[in-house]
Amino acid sequence: MKESLNAVIDELKALRKGGTDHVYVSDEAMRGLQASLASVNASPAIDPKEEAARALAAIPDRIRSASPE
């Protein structure tokens, strides 16, 4: 599952590099992504919630938003 989540993040980064500055995602999809990130347990030494927080912090606010600015 971690590979799939990383693929989503990589795709968002590629879109940003390609000039896309806004991506709208439904609230339901964002909740699902956040829940998936929280459930990933890459290593017993790393708290999954901490890893999820780091991953979400790497995504710009305008990509996390489900509503137009």
Does pLDDT of 10 surpass 80?
A: yes
Phi-psi region of 53 (alpha: psi -120 to 50; beta: other; left: phi over 0): alpha
- The H or E element containing residue 52 is helix 48-57
pLDDT digits (tens, 9 = 90+) for 17-53: 999 888 887 888 888 877 777 776 544 566 777 777 7
Q: Identify the pLDDT of residue 69.
A: 53
Instruction: Answer whether residue 14 shows pLDDT above 70.
Output: yes
With respect to residue 69, please indicate whether it lies within any of the assigned structural domains: no
Residue 58 lies in a domain: yes
The count of structural domains within the chain is 1
13 lies in a domain? yes
* Domain with 44 in it: 2-64
pTM here is 0.43
φ and ψ at 5, to 5 degrees?
-65, -40
